[in-house]
Amino acid sequence: MSLLATHIQSVKQKPALMTHVVAGFPGRKESQKIVLMMDSVGADVIEMQIPFSDPVADGPTMMKCNELSLKRGFRVSQAFEMMKEMKDEVSAKLLFMTYFNIVFTHGIEDFCREAKQAGASGLIVPDMPVEEEKYNHFLELCAQYELDWIPVVSPITPQERIAQMSSYAGGFWYVVSRLGVTGASDTFSHSTQQQIKYIQKYSSLPISLAFGVSKKQHVQKIGSLVDMAVIGSAVQNIFLQEENDFEQNLREAELFLLSLR
């Protein structure tokens, strides 16, 4: 089992917490401060999203953050530089999340090599189907550079595909709690619970659940089902508040994350 999977399973306060930051939003230095704050309040895994112009798996909050980061000139190379600068300052495991167009345009092997050199433990690329592996060898290169490929499962992912994904999966599974895009929600669907059972049938890796976490009760509920809760849009919404300056938003985000424990 990978170091990332072992890290998640060894977390003392269950469930583990994974937070999400869009690199370059609201600015490069500011997003670095957000990562450091997330680590300081106890995030176990931090997912750094490399912005993309068409983030199809993201809801309106993340889409806006991606748009603003790109508008301010943020580029892929800066994401690698950011992580490299912070990797020795944080205890959380760091991941890159992006879309396959970014990986392909950068050069698949170059992307994997540079992500590893930057300090990434794994990659989340939600629009990379395993059926394409025979053409692009992305998953082979992830393994070559010791990067965990984290598979993304929705409520309609067929059991057969979950079985196929399990051959390549590393680190943990990322389960989306309902149909649609990222954002807030209040209830687990039956299909989400069924998908968790399918994953457990084929894999012993930890499972994370993206559920639109906005309060402590959500984290507790997730902990009754899986190993890790994903906190994304609720934090980024704080940084979209234009009436406050960045330091005020940073403090509000810190207090919010502390309240989840």
CATH number of the domain to which 71 belongs: 3.20.20.70
> Quick check: 1 pLDDT over 70?
yes
What does the pLDDT read at residue 45?
A: 98
What confidence tens digit (pLDDT) does each residue in 109-161 have? 999 999 999 999 999 999 998 999 999 999 999 999 999 999 999 888 999 99
Q: Tell me if 159 sits within 8 A of 198, measured CB to CB.
A: yes
More reliable by pLDDT, 185 or 138: 138
Give the domain extent around 221.
3-7+14-259
What confidence tens digit (pLDDT) does each residue in 236-260 have? 999 999 889 999 999 999 999 999 9
What does the pLDDT read at residue 179?
A: 40
Q: Tell me if 231 sits within 8 A of 260, measured CB to CB.
A: yes
Q: Tell me if 216 sits within 8 A of 222, measured CB to CB.
A: no
Report residue 10 as tokens.
């060894």
User: What's the pLDDT band for 178 if we cut at 50, 70, 90?
Assistant: low
User: What's the pLDDT band for 186 if we cut at 50, 70, 90?
Assistant: low
- Calculate mean pLDDT across residues 198-213: 93
SS3 157: coil
> Quick check: 216 pLDDT over 80?
yes
The whole-chain average pLDDT of the chain stands at 92
d(CA 48, CA 54): 17
What confidence tens digit (pLDDT) does each residue in 71-124 have? 999 999 999 999 999 999 999 999 999 999 999 999 999 999 999 999 999 999
The sheet carrying 173-176 orders its strands as: 148-149, 122-124, 93-97, 45-49, 16-22, 228-231, 207-210, 173-176, 152-153
Cis peptide before 60 (omega within 30 of 0): no
- Calculate mean pLDDT across residues 34-43: 98
More reliable by pLDDT, 23 or 53: 23
- Calculate mean pLDDT across residues 30-46: 98
- Calculate mean pLDDT across residues 14-30: 97
CA angle 83, 84, 90 (to 5 degrees): 65
What does the pLDDT read at residue 185?
A: 47
Q: Tell me if 44 sits within 8 A of 16, measured CB to CB.
A: yes
Q: Report the catalytic residues.
A: 47, 58
- Calculate mean pLDDT across residues 212-222: 89
Q: Tell me if 5 sits within 8 A of 170, measured CB to CB.
A: yes
d(CA 114, CA 25): 21
E-strand ranges in the chain read 16-22, 45-49, 93-97, 122-124, 148-149, 152-153, 173-176, 207-210, 228-231
At 142, the amino acid letter reads C
What does the pLDDT read at residue 212?
A: 79
Report the percent of the chain where pLDDT is more than 90: 81
Domain count, the chain: 1
What does the pLDDT read at residue 189?
A: 73
Work out the end-to-end distance of the chain between its first and last CA atoms, rounded to an integer number of angstroms: 27
